[in-house]
Structure formats: structure tokens, C-alpha cells
Chain A
Amino acid sequence: MILWSNLLIWVGLTGFCTIQAQTQKLPDNLLWSSGAAGISNSQQIKKVSKEGIFVDSWLSFPRTLLTLGPAAHPKLKKAIRDNQWALTSRDNVGGVFPLLASQWATGLDKRTVYYRIDPLARWSDGHKVSAKDFYFSWQSIKSKHWPDPWQRQWSLEHIEQVKIYDQNTISVTMRHMTANLLQRTNLTPLPSHFIKKVDPSYVKKYNWKIIPNTGPYQINEISKDRGFISFKRKNNWWAKNRLRHQHQFNAEIVRFVALPDEEVIWEAFKRKKLSIIKLKDLTLFNKRTRDPLFKNGGGTLEYWSGLPAPCYGIWINSEKASWLSKNLKEGISHSFNFQRVNLGLLQNKGKRLKGCFDGYGPWSIYRQFPKFDEKTAQKLFMEAGWRTRNGEGIRISNQRALTLKIMFGDELDYNQLLILQQEAKKTGLKIELEQVKSEKFLERLKTGDYEAVFAGFAPWQTNPQFQLIWHSKGIGQGTNFSRINNQELDRMINQYDAELSYQVRLKLAHNIQNKAYDLGWFIPGLHGGWQRSVFWRWWRLPVPSAPRPSPTPWDHFHPSYGGLFWYDSKLERAMGNPREKAGISPREKIVDKTWYRD
């Protein structure tokens, strides 16, 4: 089970109030910047055509267009949010580039950022994006009727002020000085001309309303009967001449069809009703890609995601397992046979994590964690006094059997744990497994009622955050899985969060990781990393298939790495009926390891 609280500030659902825009005066000595605005996204592509209907699939049809609240459809939510542009975004090397903003400047107080909104920016209904849309958004999120409590809380706690200077200029002030100021002040506007009225029945009212947006696509067709939703590229999109996006958003229409299960999805793909499908199951991928259609127009792609790896593994609860000596902890680490899991479940294509923050570039430190090793584990156990084995073959010391009870949430974890359990018997460690379902799982994490837990965190988007995982504050929230309460670690993490200098932060990040790993409560797990998909070859991909932080080359709308694929009509015509003619594209089997790190 991977946990996160990735709730984002963006559109408003409950607007209210008339906006009192007091005109303010901008400080004089601001240094305006427009970041990495001039860089094109995929410069290696000479020419892409802007056409085609790209059809992707969902496993269920959304019950609402809302992107907040428990009913929101996760895939639709992403599609809609990616088209609701914020002020800025971040590119593949961590540089900030403008979306709705054209320029920005940081104030001397180091907690205010001034933004100039691009005067060209338009809502999809033709209205100009103005400063008051941002103010309105901030006010809405703060309001009591806002349906997302996390956003509201974050807003209340962190944003002090949003000021309007003129129609195109705003400033956002945080309550505290902070690193990543641009990221934190990055507001998403709400169309104040559209969402005028506020009442508690808002959620009901906007269930199926298409709210104006600012991104490249907007929903143009919803067919509940036939189970699809289409997004159409805007003809006169205000940002279409921006150099950065010139090779992006190539498909004319992106359509999502809801199909009941993987089987039906596969059938639909074979009949060319879908442009691509993702295949998570490795066995299924291997079996299906033997189909003759892959000689005749079908392509397969195995892409190693450039995203940082999730922080995933076994966390021993330091409160419950304080009896574990250093030797014992090390011995236990040597008893977890992740190599075997890799072999059995991932066909040896996974990769053992080298820590909790694997893949954050300079931020990461890589360590060689103990590998499964019967001999070493046995030696360590012997030294710790666990010399004999009982009838089950489990080591005992003072009438006590060497057991570790691991709590876990879902099926995927369970399959891994089963293998680990069998293997650990060899060193004389008994692993007991306890499956706990989601709500209860979080409750148990909060109360610390577990000896060890198999869980993880989805990767962070930029640099690592340690507050949740290793700070003693995370104990009460149930995110400090090992329940580490170490004053020195706390101090370093506080310093890291408050520090503004990049170099100092980097150093601190390394120290924190080293310190935490030294404590020895974390046994890193495996990282699958591969994205597998099959596609029709007339949907072309650049080389490499996607820029670095992209989780998949088939992302549709993301401002930084979405919509890079394009339709090659000539190729489709040339290939005619894919089941009959031989393929002509050389790239039918792509294995893209560009972002693979060992």
C-alpha cells in the first residue's frame, strides 16, 4: 500500500463574495524573470502532425465531472486538472517555466512572489484570465464550503495574502519564509465570471457542468450511453504559439472509453478501437505480445520511468521492537530475500531500492542495503544469542521465538510477503503476516499498533521531504512508519525545511538520509519501474520516449511532458489492414532504458 496526501490547490467549487480589488502599488526594485520559457520541449523532433483521434481506456465511467470529493474519478481528475493551468510549472530538469504567468519576481521578504499574468491568457469561453480569478480562487478555497478539507487547511495555514495590483498583476504571500517558494505560491485560478454564485448545493449543481479552463484541451463530448468522454484541442488556444509547447498536444481529439475489464480492453485494442493499452501484468504482457498483430502494425513499449522510485519496503516499528539489537536488526535485514521476489514475481526485471529516496538526482544518497544471505544472517543471530531452533525451525532464545509480525494492506504486497516468509524460514526467522484493510490500516499506523509494516510513499515530485517519514511529528499522523523519535534527526529535518540555501539543504538531505539509515529500521523493497504498453505504430513517439520525470510516454495533457506522441497518417495508410500487411516501421519493439539507473 502506498500512501500519500497529494491534494492540490486549484479550482474553486464554492465561490462567494464580490471581489474587492483594492489597487496596490508594486515595489520598485523587483527582478522579473520568465524562467525556462524559451526552451522547447522536445527539440529533437523535426516535424509532428497535429491530427488524429487518440483513444485510451478507463475501467469505469466517471460518475461526476468534479475533481474534488470522494466520487471523483482519478483518471478523469488528472485529465481535467492538467488542463486547468496554474501560474507556472516545472520541467524535466527542475527549472520553472511559465504557464498562465508570463513573468515573476521574488520579494525581498522572501515570502512573497509577484506574478504578471500573460495578457493573452484566455478561459475556454473566451473570457480573459484576470487577476481577480486568482484572488477569487484563494478566497473560495478558504471558504467553509470548500469541499476539499486538505486544500482549505493548507491554504489557511500557509497563504497569508493574495493581492491584486492591476488586471494582470498579483502577488502571493506565504506566512513563513520557505524553500521552493515558486512552487508554494503557484495558484490555479477559478473562472470567477462562470462560478458566480455560492451556495452549499454547489457540488450537486456542478456535477456534470464543464467548467471553463485554460489548458490546451477542453471536454467536447460526453456520452454516458456509449461510455466515453472526449477532449478536443482548442483551435485558437491562447498559448499555441509558445515555443515550449510547439511539439506537444498533437492529437486533435483525446478520447477516453470506459470498458469493463482488461479482457474487453484487449479485444477493443485488437479491433483498433483503442490507440494504446497499458499492460501491468507481466505474464499477460508476455503472452499478449506474441499475437500476430505485433508483426502488422502493433508496437510494444517497455519504458523505465524517470520518476523517482517510491519509498517502499519493510518498516520495523522502533517502539514495538525496541528489543532488537543492532546485530539482530542486521540479521533480519539479511533474511529478506528480495532477490527471490524479483525472480518470482517480476521476472527479474525489478530493481532493489537503494534507500528511501532513490532517483532524486543530487538529493539522493545510495547505499548498499543488506542482501539476503543465509550465512551472514545466521552468524549475526548466533552472535546475538539466538542459537537453537525449535520444532518449526525457528530460532529461539530464552524461550522466545524469533518472529516478526508484518502488517500489510493489499494483494500485491501479500504476494511478495509470501515469498519473503518462506525464504526467511531458512535463517530461522518467522514472519507472521497480518492483512489489514485500508481504513483500519491508517488507524493502526496512527496508533502504532504493529511490529512492522510493509508500505510506502509515492514519490515526491521535486526534492525529498523528510518531515513525514522520519520526524517525530510524523508519529502521531501515522506517516513515520518506524516511529523514529530521534532528537538529532528532528533538528536536522527542521533545519532542512527552514533552510533556503540550496547547497546547505543538499548537505542536510544527505546527512538526514545517512542518519536515518544508520538507525536500521528500514528494509528497502523492490521497484518495478517498467511501464508496459502496446500501441498501434502510427502513434509515434519521440526518442527518448518521454522526458525524464514523466511516468509514462502516453501522458495526455501534462503541461511539462503530456501529449508528446503524434499521429502518422501516412504510416497508417501504408500499413493498411494491420492483420494482413507486414509492418514497415522499424520501431515495433521499444525497450526504453534511457532513465534506468542501476
Chain B
Amino acid sequence: MKLNPTTLKRLKQFRSIKRGYYSFVLFMICLLLAALAELWINSRAIVVKYEGHYYFPTYGAVIPGTTFGFDYDYETVYRDLQKRMAEQNEDGFVLMPLVPYNALENDFKEDSYPPAAPSLESKHFLGTDKTGRDVLARVVYGFRIAIIFSLILLFFNYAIGMTVGSMMGFFGGKFDIIMQRLIEIWTNVPFLYVIIILVSIFDATFALLITIMVFFGWTGLTFYMRTTVLQEKVKEYALAARVIGAGTFRTIFHHILPNTISLIVTFIPFSVTGGITSLTSLDYLGFGLPPPTPSWGELMSQGMEQLEVASWIIISVVSGMVAILVMITFIGEGIREAFDPKKYTTYE
């Protein structure tokens, strides 16, 4: 991709804004860690060497216990395998991930009951929740789902919002006025009410939640787009494009839209935090993704319930969420500043 000089300048500008830039780097690391979560938070081993063979169970099919000399043919419990091999001095090794639990399994000890407090020994670094699931695993996998959710939501919201907004600006007239009314109605509908009603009728799935939230969320961008297109369409390049006979959509998509990108970019971080927040609050209320999907909101409601007994739940999930949201906000702030043409002089 070739970057034009303005973009390059803005990127340089962004790099110079320390808070935003470091947040960006950190956030990218978080994303990478979440993407590779299976490698460091998983009940499956990373590598097993058994009887001279190497196994890499992380991403493949289930390896039954019989493969490693257990008498069961369901999935091997690698933690047990590791213990057994160590105890009996067998040839080979098991390399477990840092956190040897996945986000769904319930870890019960014979002598104590969940929720279990954080402990290095049991490798539940942030403890377990009330059904014995590892909190760290649920925070990380929950983050992954939230961010994916948020990005998909963002894509559809922007696709629809930008299209409608630019059409309003481009065509103007009756279309514009009618759409303005419709959008005003749309934005005033209490969308939480609608979600609650709809989710209690249909089963809440990922797709359904996205659909409902796009249904009511696309309007956010339309007015900005409308205004920008109104400004852009009277500029010479757009007029020129029309004069040489470019069609309506061609004019919008190839000529006007690229010039509004700078506006869009500044909105993205805030839309991402918005998406995460909405999903979390819905999950918190029990109207979000179906269980047992790991989710921040679900952890939060559990944490509130167990405030007295298991404070590590609420501490972990809230710190995780705050860290991520603050990072994204700082990135957003940085981008906004970098893309802002105004430079202030300071009086001494």
C-alpha cells in the first residue's frame, strides 16, 4: 500500500504522541496474546513427547487417553499425564501452557470448593469462579470475543451508516429530509428495551445480538457523513468527476469517500470501546451471549454476587476491562490529535 504524504505526516504525528502510541503498542500486544490464547491458556499441552513420538495437541483433534497409556478413551487430561510422567519417571515430557486450564472446564478439588482464591501452586493465577473455572482464562477468552464482536459490529455499523449518510448528503432534497426524520425516530427508540424484549423471545446468539445492535446502531455516523459529503460534493474534484460522467455510486465510493476517511478513523477507537461496553453491559444483565461463552459481563455479575466471598473475580475482570478501555481511549485521543489540522500556539 502506498501512503500519501498527509497520511505519513499524520502517522508520524501519532507516533510523537507518547500516551497514544504506547497504548497502541500495548494494545497490539494484548490482541496478539488473545489471538494466541490457546498456546498459553489451555488445558491441552503444547508439546508432548511420549514413547519417542512428539505430539502437538493444541489445535488438532482430540487425542484419547489411551494414546498415552491411560485406560480411558476420552480426551487426555494433560495435567494428569504430566504428573504421572514426572512421578513414574517415564521417558519423555509434557510441556503445559502457562495456565493449564481452558475457559470452560470446571476444576474441582477434592478437599475444597469453588470459588478458589488465586494461587501460584494450583496455577489459577487469578483464582476460579463459582463453578471452578479459571478466571484468567475467562478474562482473556472473554476479551477475545468482545473485541471480535466489537469489530464486526463496527464494520456493519460503518458500512450501513456511511452509505446512508453519504447518500443523504449526496442526493439531498426529499430523500435527505425523510431520512433525517426516520433517523431521528430511530435514535430515540430506547434500544435497550427492544433488546431485552427481543432477546427474551429469540435465543440470544452472536448473530442475533450483532443484528439487533446494527439495526439500532448504524445511525450514529450518518449525520457526520452527511455533513462531510455535503462539504465535499461541492468541491472541484467531485464536480469534475461528475462532469466526466462518473456515475453516482462511483462518485461517492471512489471520489468522495476516500476523502472522508480521516473523519472515520478518528471515530473508530470510540466505536470499539462502545461495542465492548454494550456487550459487557448486556452480558452483565443476562441478555447477552448465551452461556457458557466466556464474557466480562457474566464475570462481573458473578463478581458482584460474590463480592464478599470471592473478591478476586471482580478485581480481575474490572482491572482487565479498565486497562483495555483506557488503552483504546488513549489511542483514540492520540489519533484525534494527530488528525487535527489545528496547531495551537502557546503564550509564554
Contacts and interface: CB of A to CB of B under 8 A. Distances in A.
Interface of A: 263, 281-284, 287, 340, 343-345, 347, 374, 378, 389-393, 411, 414-415, 418-419, 422, 425-428, 433-440
Contact of B74 (A281, A347, A426, A440): A426
B290 interface: yes
Contact of B64 (A340, A344, A393, A433): A393
B292 A428 contact: no
B75 A344 contact: no
B316 interface: no
Contact of B130 (A283, A390, A392, A437): A283
Contacts of A345: 131
B320 interface: no
Contacts of A390: 61-62
Contact of A415 (B73, B75, B110, B130): B130
Contacts of B64: 389, 393
27 contacts: A263-B308, A283-B115, A284-B308, A287-B309, A340-B108, A343-B108, A343-B110, A344-B108, A344-B114, A344-B131, A347-B113, A374-B72, A389-B73, A390-B61, A391-B61, A415-B131, A418-B104, A418-B292, A419-B131, A426-B72, A427-B74, A433-B291, A434-B290, A435-B291, A438-B200, A439-B200, A440-B200
A428 B62 CA distance: 11
Given A283-B130, A414-B291, A415-B130, A422 B105 contact: yes
A347 B110 CA distance: 10
A392 to B, nearest CB: 6
Contacts of B292: 414, 418, 433
A344 B113 contact: yes
A283 B131 CA distance: 12
Tell me what chain B mostly uses at the interface: helix, strand, loop, or mixed: loop
Tell me what chain A mostly uses at the interface: helix, strand, loop, or mixed: helix
Nearest to A427: B74
Contacts of B104: 418, 422
A393 B308 contact: no
Give the contact-size bracket for chain B. 20 to 34
Contacts, number: 80
B132 interface: yes
Nearest to B76: A393
Given A389-B62, A415-B131, A439-B200, A284 B309 contact: yes
Nearest to A415: B131
Given A389-B64, A419-B131, A428 B74 contact: yes
In the A-B complex, list the 3 residue pairs whose CB atoms are closest, starting with the nearest.
A391-B61, A393-B62, A426-B74
A412 to B, nearest CB: 11
B5 to A, nearest CB: 52
Contacts of B309: 281, 283-284, 287
A255 B244 CA distance: 85
Contact of B62 (A283, A392, A419): A392
A418 B307 contact: no
Contacts of A419: 106, 131
A393 B307 CA distance: 38
A263 B200 CA distance: 29
A391 B310 CA distance: 37
Given A422-B105, A428-B73, 8 more contacts: A263-B307, A283-B113, A283-B306, A378-B73, A392-B61, A393-B64, A415-B130, A440-B201
